[in-house]
């Protein structure tokens, strides 16, 4: 329907560019395997045997206590216990959840997406966001370039050929997908800005001091960098550049969140009693630990530096199984 050759060339180039990025992102979202917890979070064979033999009591908790004392975990169950998966027989890292479809524990699980037939988590969340962004741009581009011919369809300005029905169908399809994709993409942009997953948006993570819906938020800029990485040249490409290892994450419990008050809700009583600070230091990967360099540290770090060593045991924790 286009008569101008320059318009045809520009539209074809823009179309194939958006289509190529859309397919690339979609492919990476589908075929990138979800990451599972590392071996350090799995119970040893001897610990598994002890759990099977011992009744659910103090001896049962002691096994979990020895297994979890050196792990970099902050989140707890609603009852304040260590998050343990009976199916995978492992202690769940922070933000890790068991997917009933994949039957595996997925690092930083966001949701299981039927449209990509894959779990969206730490390993492919950036790809999923780019897939939403490029599919939205793809549909908007089609709707925008088709609009003038769609108007001509209703004003009888198009030749009476079969192509006129293709134009009408194309505009309706592109416009409807644009509406649905814009709402979904906008929602996930909000999640990234707050450093939340879909699961955490519906059920806030629980820490030692209680529920904290912004427990992982480090500020807008750092939240973006945690997902997209430090090098902006890779932000728009479906190439893995997220910071961290997926097993441990910086939290405002260790370094205060600049978006929140200096003392989190429910923490005033523990701040007066240093013995209640039982958080182990997180062994963050170098690429992620620098996100915390300009944040305020716990007062405890200066008053009692011996408690901030990695691998610190925490006998005060109450532990139980969580399915």
Which pLDDT does position 159 carry in this prediction?
67
Share of the chain above pLDDT 90, in %: 52
Q: Is residue 225 part of a domain?
A: yes
Q: Is residue 88 part of a domain?
A: yes
Q: Once rounded to an integer, what is the mean pLDDT over residues 9-18?
A: 95
Q: Is residue 306 part of a domain?
A: no
92 with 201, same domain: the answer is: no
Query: At which of 175, 208, 234 does a domain end?
Result: 234
Q: What is the DSSP letter of 184?
A: H
**Domain range for residue 69?**
39-115
* Domain count within the chain: 2
Q: Is residue 54 part of a domain?
A: yes
70 with 151, same domain: the answer is: no
Report the alpha-carbon distance of residue 29 to residue 20 in Å, rounded. 14
Report the alpha-carbon distance of residue 76 to residue 82 in Å, rounded. 5
Q: Is residue 245 part of a domain?
A: no
Q: What is the DSSP letter of 108?
A: T
46 with 183, same domain: the answer is: no
Give the angle subtended at the CA of 293 by the CAs of 292 and 297, to the nearest 5°. 70
Which pLDDT does position 289 carry in this prediction?
54
Which pLDDT does position 29 carry in this prediction?
97
Which pLDDT does position 168 carry in this prediction?
84
16 with 160, same domain: the answer is: yes
Q: For residue range 198-235, what is the model confidence (pLDDT) as tens digits?
A: 999 999 999 988 899 999 999 999 999 999 999 999 99
107 with 139, same domain: the answer is: no
Report the alpha-carbon distance of residue 22 to residue 14 in Å, rounded. 12
Q: What is the pTM of this model?
A: 0.77
132 with 200, same domain: the answer is: yes
Q: Which two tokens stand for residue 29?
A: 């979202």
Q: Is residue 87 part of a domain?
A: yes
Which pLDDT does position 66 carry in this prediction?
79
The residues that are catalytic are 113
50 with 151, same domain: the answer is: no
**Strand, coil or helix: 26:** helix
What is the separation of C-alpha 127 from the centre of its chain, rounded to a whole number of angstroms? 11
Length reported for the chain: 323
Which pLDDT does position 60 carry in this prediction?
67
173 with 104, same domain: the answer is: no
69 Cβ contact list (under 8 Å, min separation 6) = 311, 312, 313, 314, 315
Which pLDDT does position 268 carry in this prediction?
37
Q: For residue range 270-291, what is the model confidence (pLDDT) as tens digits?
A: 333 333 333 344 445 455 555 6
Which pLDDT does position 156 carry in this prediction?
74
Q: For residue range 64-78, what is the model confidence (pLDDT) as tens digits?
A: 777 888 899 888 888
Query: Model confidence at 116, in pLDDT bands (50, 70, 90)?
Result: very high
186 with 75, same domain: the answer is: no
Which pLDDT does position 157 carry in this prediction?
67
Q: Once rounded to an integer, what is the mean pLDDT over residues 149-157?
A: 77
Buried b (16+ CB within 10 A) or exposed e, 238-258: beebbbbbbbbbbbbbbbbbb
Q: Is residue 272 part of a domain?
A: no
87 with 166, same domain: the answer is: no
Report the alpha-carbon distance of residue 186 to residue 184 in Å, rounded. 5
Query: At which of 186, 208, 234 does a domain end?
Result: 234
Query: At which of 170, 199, 234 does a domain end?
Result: 234
| For residue 319, pLDDT beyond 50 | no
| For residue 167, pLDDT beyond 70 | yes
Q: Is residue 187 part of a domain?
A: yes
Q: Once rounded to an integer, what is the mean pLDDT over residues 228-243?
A: 96
Burial class (CB in 10 A: 0-12, 13-18, 19+), 93: buried
> Which residues share a beta bridge with 112?
119
């Amino acid at each position: 329907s286009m008569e101008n050759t320059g318009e045809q060339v520009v539209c074809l180039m823009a179309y194939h560019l958006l289509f190529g990025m859309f397919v690339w992102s979609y492919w990476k979202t589908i075929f990138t395997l979800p990451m599972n917890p590392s071996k350090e979070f799995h119970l040893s064979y001897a610990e598994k045997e002890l759990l099977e033999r011992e009744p659910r009591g103090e001896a049962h908790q002691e096994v979990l206590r020895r297994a979890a004392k050196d792990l970099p975990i902050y989140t707890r169950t609603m009852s304040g216990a260590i998050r343990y998966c009976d199916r995978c027989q492992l202690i769940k890292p922070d933000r890790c959840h068991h997917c009933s479809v994949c039957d595996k524990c997925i690092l930083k699980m966001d949701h299981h997406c039927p449209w990509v037939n894959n779990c969206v988590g730490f390993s492919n969340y950036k790809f999923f966001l780019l897939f939403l962004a490029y599919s939205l741009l793809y549909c908007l581009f089609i709707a925008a370039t088709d609009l003038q011919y769609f108007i001509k369809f209703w004003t009888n300005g198009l030749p009476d050929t079969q192509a006129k029905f293709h134009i009408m169908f194309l505009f309706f399809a592109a416009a409807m997908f644009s509406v649905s994709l814009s709402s979904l993409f906008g929602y996930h942009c909000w999640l990234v800005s707050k450093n939340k997953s879909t699961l955490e948006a519906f059920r806030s993570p629980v820490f030692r001091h209680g529920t904290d819906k912004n427990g992982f938020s480090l500020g807008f800029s750092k939240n973006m960098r945690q997902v997209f990485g430090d090098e902006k040249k890779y932000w728009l490409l479906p190439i893995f550049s997220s910071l961290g290892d997926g097993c441990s994450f910086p939290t405002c419990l260790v370094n205060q969140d600049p978006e929140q008050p200096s003392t989190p809700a429910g923490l005033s009583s523990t701040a007066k009693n240093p013995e209640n600070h039982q958080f182990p230091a997180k062994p963050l990967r170098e690429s992620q630990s620098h996100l915390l360099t300009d944040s305020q540290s716990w007062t405890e770090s200066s008053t009692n530096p011996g408690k901030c060593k990695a691998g610190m045991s925490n006998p005060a924790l109450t532990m139980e199984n969580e399915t």
